[in-house]
Structure 1
Amino acid sequence: MNESLDNAVLAVDGGGTRCRVACEVGGVVHSVETGAANVSTDFDSALAQIRAGLDQLSRQIEVTIGDLITLPAFVGLAGVTDAAIAGRLRDALGLTCARVEDDRPAAVRGALGAQDGLIAHCGTGSFLAVQADGAMRFAGGWGSILGDEASAQWVGRSALAETLRAYDGTQAETDLTQMLLADLQGPAGIVRFARTATPAQFGVLAPTVTSAAKKGDAVAVHILRAGAGYIADTAKQLGWQAGQTICLTGGIAGQYAHYLPDDMQSAIRPSLGEPLTGALALAKEIRHEHL
């Protein structure tokens, strides 16, 4: 291609499932996808995935990696928890004009653009964010041990906990609890599974729960109501106001729509774009700051 990079920007959006690296040149977006990139879980692996993406992208648009790393860039990655790890990543990649943050700002900007509103992201993990007058305020995203309420992981783990309560006889059995008890070979099997299960493995159980909820299973409905309650309460604490747009993103977030209060249900809108779109928009802001 050998196109001028005078107005080009670079963006990276990485999480526990995949990493996407993109360069917008002359209004055209070129992107590649590599594997999972969480710098807290495995810094070296995440770094390798980003480098692989930069290498693929450089060959795709026929420039050097050296050219790419000097571009205005926004890097949004799962696991960037403070300035120290952000700086370590920036230095390791050799980026010279970059903003390195976690993956939440790119998701917000992609979903909402510049408009005010709320994003409730519930995938394997979860977080909420409100954008108002260009400023973002976040809650959650602290991982499966200390947070990630209403995530797919949380739904799966909650279902297993409720199944054990049903086994103890402290709540009624349902089709869901009986099925999970049988599938995992009794309470001992549930405990064995939970002892080593990753968030993604807990999350695999979530579709079973949402499917049961659609059939009116009391335990499944209870779990989804609890997740929706967390979303509603946190949204209001973050400053969401009735009438502002709500975007439900991530694999399981849409399952909560029916359980949200009426004023929130009526505000739900499709996302304007994906996180990579948001990362590119944030990279353009960095470019303007350095003009």
Structure 2
Amino acid sequence: MTSGSDNLILAIDGGGTRCRLALFDGVQTWRVEVGSANVSTDFETSCAELVSGLAVLCKQAGIELAEIARAPAYVGLAGVTGQAIADRLAAALPFARVRIEDDRPSALRGALGPRDGFVAHCGTGSFIAAQRSGATAFVGGWGPVLGDQASAQWVGKRVLSEVLECADGMRAASEMSEHFLRQFNGTSGVVKAASMMTPTEFGALAPVVTQFAGQGDTGAQSIMQAGADYLADRLVKMGWSPGAAICLTGGIGPYYSTFLPEDMQQALVQPSGDPLSGAIALAQAFKEEIEHERC
């Protein structure tokens, strides 16, 4: 490697589905992907995934871990709900200079870059974010137990709940509800499976819902409409007004586009980048802050 170690920055973006790491030396970027990393749901497994990713990154870049550990590192992970868990994670990782936040800032920065706008991110979890003149604000992202409305795991839970209501005769059955009853071998199978599912496993049901919604299934469309109504309500409460850019990100986020109000549909823009590119930008900003403090 020709660049000096002073040019290195490390960026990590992790969520309930996957964790990605990137090392940048000012010229070249190395990237690796490992399993899910939510430090509130499973701290030890998340740390193991990060350590595994660092080992692969070292091998890929041909750089010793000790050298990478000295580089400014930005870590954006799902489940970082406060300073206590951020400090615990910092102590478990080898970095000398690290900034640890939840996964929302990197997703926002990746989607919008430096421009103003709003992001409705719906992956395994969900949150709404706004960026105005460099200032950021966030709503949601509180996890599968108390929040994450409109997320993939929320869709998965909701569809199984509504399948049971269809079986009770409280909702009209649809092709989608019959599909899930067959998949899980009846209502008892639905209840048993749901009792053991992780957020990621619930989220894996969401693509089936979006597929049925696209085919006109009324049950699937009602779930998607409920998710879109939540997003629209929170966007307005955060200050969105017609004309302000909106990015729908995450695995299921873009599928809400046709269920949003018309004025929001007209405001939709494509994301500038992904959460990892946002984490790289925030790692670079962290490095510049460190250098400024030295001056």
AA aligned to 1:157 is K
Counterpart in the other structure of 1:280 = 280
Find the residue that maps to 1:271 and give its secondary structure: coil
Counterpart in the other structure of 2:104 = 104
CA-to-aligned-CA distance 1:148-170 (integer Å, 9 cap, x gap): 11111111221122222222222
Report matched runs for 1:3-82 at 5 Å: 3-82=3-82
CA-to-aligned-CA distance 1:152-206 (integer Å, 9 cap, x gap): 1111221122222222222222222222223222222221121112222222222
Which 5+ residue runs of structure 1 have no aligned equivalent? none
Q: How many residue pairs were aligned?
A: 291
Which 5+ residue runs of structure 2 have no aligned equivalent? none
Would you say the 8 A contact 1:11–1:280 is kept in 2? Answer: yes
The change in CA–CA distance for 1:52 and 1:272 in structure 2 (over 3 A counts) is same
Structure 2: distance between partners of 1:266 and 1:260: 10
The runs of at least 4 consecutive aligned structure 1 residues that moved more than 3 Å come to none
Would you say the 8 A contact 2:17–2:124 is kept in 1? Answer: no
The change in CA–CA distance for 1:2 and 1:43 in structure 2 (over 3 A counts) is farther
Find the residue that maps to 1:21 and give its secondary structure: strand
Would you say the 8 A contact 2:16–2:125 is kept in 1? Answer: no
Would you say the 8 A contact 1:2–1:63 is kept in 2? Answer: no
Deviation of the 1:117 alpha carbon: 0.9
AA aligned to 2:106 is A
Counterpart in the other structure of 2:230 = 230
Report matched runs for 1:95-244 at 5 Å: 95-244=95-244
The change in CA–CA distance for 1:173 and 1:45 in structure 2 (over 3 A counts) is closer
AA aligned to 2:281 is A
Instruction: Compute the RMSD of aligned alpha carbons.
Output: 1.6
Find the residue that maps to 2:7 and give its secondary structure: coil
Normalising by the residue count of structure 1, what TM-score does the alignment of the two structures yield?
0.94
Structure 2: distance between partners of 1:44 and 1:173: 42
AA aligned to 1:281 is A
The percentage of counterpart residues that share the same residue type is 49
AA aligned to 1:122 is C
Deviation of the 1:234 alpha carbon: 0.7
Deviation of the 1:52 alpha carbon: 2.2
Normalising by the residue count of structure 2, what TM-score does the alignment of the two structures yield?
0.93
Structure 2: distance between partners of 1:55 and 1:187: 45
The change in CA–CA distance for 1:22 and 1:220 in structure 2 (over 3 A counts) is same
Report matched runs for 1:265-276 at 5 Å: 265-276=265-276
Deviation of the 1:2 alpha carbon: 4.7
Deviation of the 1:241 alpha carbon: 2.5
Would you say the 8 A contact 1:122–1:250 is kept in 2? Answer: yes
AA aligned to 2:115 is Q
Shifted more, 153-162 versus 55-64: the winner is 55-64
Structure 2: distance between partners of 1:268 and 1:120: 11
Deviation of the 1:35 alpha carbon: 2.2
Structure 2: distance between partners of 1:171 and 1:21: 45
